[in-house]
């Protein structure tokens, strides 16, 4: 009898809390959540020397954040450094760092802790793409994809998460991809690395939740192609549903999601619907949709970039 009462009580508490969370989600869907203040927060961005990383840096610069810029390209990173200063960043620190090298990540991370302080917002943005079919992709390029797109997340989390836990304050931002949600023709190694980054970010979030570390937030970003040059030559057959995103728009939406502490951000919104369909449609139907949207040939015109990102 006591067991049944306890079970019933647990069920009612669960149902009550579930109803509350659903109502809360509905309210925030209609009325956007208040944005948090990031003035003075130490924001580290990997891949800050160009493209999306640079735009994210400028977004945070305008909000008074202390910026820590990491990139393997010293010249591009220094250019972002100057632009961030002009945009009003409280302080800016630029470090040349090859995120594919574990020892270098740890070395530069220690330098950041000593010279700047504890990173409170970590944005893992650095990424590379080979754009080759699986059997045509050399082993060393596949390994590089994983080193930059996934393993770098492991090492930066290891380096900066302990201080976030100690302070019960921090925000982990994973720039994954729509290719981290569904397999794409011509992107096997890239998809695998982005799926891995997504899984890591989600798992670490669950760990912090279980350990009741409520001050540590997570945001996972999955955009379609962005016009940064990384996917030069790639196309979309349905720009009204799956547009190739403008970089400035993507950066604004990412920062907005961080400030509202959203867990997931898919861009464009049509991706949410596609993921819903993927969860229950028969495989043949899903393949027909992919064929209709011409997703299978989006990489056909891909032009490989000559310089590192």
Using one digit for the tens of pLDDT, what is the confidence trace for 244-292? 999 999 999 999 999 999 999 999 999 999 999 999 999 999 999 999 9
Average pLDDT on 208-215 reads: 95
Quick one: pLDDT at residue 8?
73
Show contacts of 201-204: CB within 8 Å, 24+ apart: 201/153, 201/172, 201/174, 201/176, 204/157, 204/161, 204/172
Query: What span, in angstroms and rounded, lies between the C-alpha atoms of 14 and 252?
Result: 36
Query: What span, in angstroms and rounded, lies between the C-alpha atoms of 295 and 305?
Result: 22
Q: Is 122 helix (H, G, I), strand (E, B) or coil?
A: strand
128 pLDDT more than 60: yes
β-pair type (121-124, 42-46): parallel
53 pLDDT more than 60: yes
**pLDDT averaged over every residue in the chain:** 92
Place of tokens 């100690």: 166
CATH code reported for the domain at 35-297: 3.40.50.720
The fraction of the chain above a pLDDT of 90, given in percent, is: 82
Which is more confident, 26 or 221?
221
2 pLDDT more than 60: no
Quick one: pLDDT at residue 24?
67
Q: Residue ranges per domain, the chain?
A: 35-297
3 pLDDT more than 80: no
Q: Is 111 helix (H, G, I), strand (E, B) or coil?
A: helix
Task: Collect all residues with Cβ–Cβ distance below 8 Å to 134 and sequence separation of at least 6.
Answer: 188, 189
Catalytic site residues? 190
Quick one: pLDDT at residue 309?
37
32 pLDDT more than 80: no
């Amino acid at each position: 009898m006591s067991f049944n009462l306890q079970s019933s009580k647990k069920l009612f508490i669960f149902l009550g809390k579930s109803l509350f969370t659903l109502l809360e989600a509905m309210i925030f869907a209609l009325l956007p959540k208040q944005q948090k203040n990031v003035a003075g927060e130490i924001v580290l961005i990997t891949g800050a020397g160009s493209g999306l990383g640079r735009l994210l840096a400028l977004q945070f610069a305008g909000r008074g954040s202390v910026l820590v810029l990491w990139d393997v390209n010293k010249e591009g990173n220094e250019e972002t450094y100057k632009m961030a200063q002009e945009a009003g960043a409280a302080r800016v620190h630029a470090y040349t760092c090859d995120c594919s090298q574990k020892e270098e990540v740890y070395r530069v991370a220690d330098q950041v802790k000593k010279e700047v302080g504890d990173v409170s917002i970590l944005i893992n943005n650095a990424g590379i793409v080979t754009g080759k079919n699986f059997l045509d992709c050399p082993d060393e390029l596949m390994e590089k994809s994983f080193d930059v797109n996934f393993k770098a997340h492991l090492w930066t989390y290891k380096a900066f998460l302990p201080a976030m836990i100690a302070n019960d304050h921090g925000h982990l931002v994973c720039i994954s991809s729509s290719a981290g949600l569904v397999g794409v023709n011509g992107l096997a190694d890239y998809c695998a690395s982005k799926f891995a980054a997504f899984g890591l970010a989600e798992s670490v979030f669950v760990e912090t939740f279980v350990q009741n570390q409520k001050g540590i937030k997570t945001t996972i970003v999955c955009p379609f192609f962005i016009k940064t040059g990384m996917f030069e030559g790639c196309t979309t057959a349905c720009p009204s549903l799956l547009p190739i995103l403008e970089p400035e728009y993507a950066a604004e939406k990412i920062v907005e999601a961080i400030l509202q502490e959203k867990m997931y951000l898919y861009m464009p919104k049509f991706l949410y619907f596609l993921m819903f369909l993927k969860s229950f449609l028969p495989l043949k139907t899903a393949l027909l949709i992919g064929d209709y949207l011409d997703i299978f040939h989006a990489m056909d015109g891909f032009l490989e970039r000559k310089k590192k990102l």
